[in-house]
Chains A and B, each alone.
Chain A
């Protein structure tokens, strides 16, 4: 089994969680994790693994921290 820390932000937290540990038997893509959490594809505006911007097809590794943001921005 492999462990991934999943962090959700802004509106994605509604009816979900802020942070949770997830276990997987095989390395999932970010898309697969999002599907499991019922997060629509268009809500995956920013996906970071260990603080680095990656695409939604990125395959997660044991011990990774995945941060998912909906469309956000500013300055």
Chain B
């Protein structure tokens, strides 16, 4: 038996029906699992134009063929649904241990349908699957919910995925938290759980995930492990300082977004750097399931411990809000995990609010007595994150994300978003490839759909001139397609610093017993990317949405090493469409669709 179990668990919260069905072997082969499989199933199963917060939306928790195996980093799962933030296919990836546990319980994926009349949670213990009342958990934050559920479940080795109060309040930047501080963070997936009155999913499994060819699989695992250990990024850099070590690098390059992307250099970067986190607050590493990289950090502050902060979080609550108080940044990070909001979107939305305040769109009277939104106000970031769980007032406005907030105050151009998704921690004016990736990523402004920082800043697999547009469209396509395949496999994207398509193909082949070549892996990624694109276009998106905030296209970077640069998106897009096999309007051609079997 291979590592694909062939079993879909469906739970309908409207009818209370719980049943399993066979996973199509064809879909499994063509879309691998995770993001690809979940995206295809969502596109096939929900009608166009539905309200993402209605009972008609579905919520898939999808593992990959390598989830739960001994492959390095094999603990990932993907949450796939229609996004309440921007109506695209949302696929939010998370690590920790929950995904592997779902596989141990015997399922490749869980599909949640309908809407419960009252708050409930789903309890999974191998074949025993139950919908249980969660009225006593409603209103609790993630740590408390996790504690209560583990006690109720009677097995502390169970794994809990849940929403905090922000998800209950349908915040469009709400996330799903598993294993206390691992997050399926982006695109508001937590609000879909909230809308279904689904507070949590507890899972405990007792099976081992078998692989098709144990001997060969073991060899390929050993080979992948060695490559991860030998690689400078995965073997040394990430283990030593975690992701936050990027703060100084990105700041030195003059693309470290500061004060809502008004500047690219933060004078106090050192104070919020990975080096400072390690020196002052880090207590231990906090690795995910079977991860030899162990980039996760565990920090303690005033006696309270928690996971992170990651680079993106340090940036969003740090320089993007003009804040150099690392203690406040870590507290804001913990607050996000407690109330259950995405740290990137939460920090970036507060940064947008600070610019709205700077320019007089938001006034003190709008703040319901909350902290003033001056740049650098550490108290403000913690307090306003906590208030994102409010039912009304300015906190509730923040909880709708930056695009809706800025539009509500008549200044949409101050929202640093693509397709309403808050941009992450790299200013595209100094990164032509990465900016193209932001504009074309199917879930909106995102860095982990084709991490062009790797060649444009880190020089991996080779150094590219970050200001040049030459060859960038081709690089972005390959990065996006390979990323989609990795997101479908059940492994962590960080393995791609050390592994290539061939290594993933070898692991998948020997685990599943289905033959994958390197080309098959890339083709599956491309198929996934096009399914997402077609879903979004059916929802009304057009080529006009493949864009960047005006600031990056019209206002040159004001100072620092990237001074004077704009993003040259218009020059890049036609070439990108061409090599993707899309027409001038960005629509996948019939020929390309046919070639991909769509």
A positions within 8 Å CB-CB of B? 7, 9-11, 13, 18, 45-46, 48, 50-53, 67, 69-75
Contact = CB atoms under 8 A, between A and B. Distances in A.
Nearest to B497: A73
B560 interface: yes
B553 interface: no
Contacts of B494: 74-75
Contacts of B458: 46, 72-73
Given A45-B232, A53-B463, A74-B244, 6 more contacts: A10-B237, A48-B252, A51-B253, A73-B233, A73-B245, A74-B245
Given A9-B275, A45-B232, A53-B466, A71 B252 contact: no
B562 A71 contact: no
State the majority secondary structure of interface residues on B.
Answer: helix
A69 B562 CA distance: 19
B549 interface: no
Contacts of A51: 252-254, 560-562
Nearest to A52: B561
Contacts of A10: 237, 240-241, 245, 248, 274-275
Contact of B238 (A7, A50, A73): A73
Nearest to B273: A9
A75 B561 CA distance: 21
B466 A74 contact: no
Interface string B221-254: 0000000000111111110111111101100111
Contacts of A70: 232, 236-237
Interface of B: 231-238, 240-246, 248-249, 252-254, 270, 274-275, 295, 310-312, 447-448, 451, 453-454, 457-460, 463, 466, 493-494, 497, 560-562
A18 B311 CA distance: 20
A74 B235 contact: no
Among B238, B252, B253, B457, the most chain A Cβ lie within 10 Å of the Cβ of: B252
A74 B458 CA distance: 9
5 contacts: A10-B275, A51-B254, A71-B233, A74-B311, A75-B447
Contacts of B463: 53
A10 B562 CA distance: 23
A53 B237 contact: no
A71 B274 CA distance: 14
Among A13, A51, A70, the most chain B Cβ lie within 10 Å of the Cβ of: A51
Contacts of A74: 233, 237-238, 242-246, 295, 310-311, 494
A46 B447 CA distance: 20
Contacts of A73: 232-234, 237-238, 245-246, 454, 458, 460, 497
A46 B30 CA distance: 38
A25 B299 CA distance: 46
A73 B454 CA distance: 8
Contact of B249 (A11, A13, A18, A46): A46
Contact of A75 (B235, B254, B453): B453
Contact of B237 (A7, A48, A67, A71): A71
Among A18, A69, A72, the most chain B Cβ lie within 10 Å of the Cβ of: A72
A11 B451 CA distance: 24
A73 B494 CA distance: 9
B451 A75 contact: yes
A48 B246 contact: no
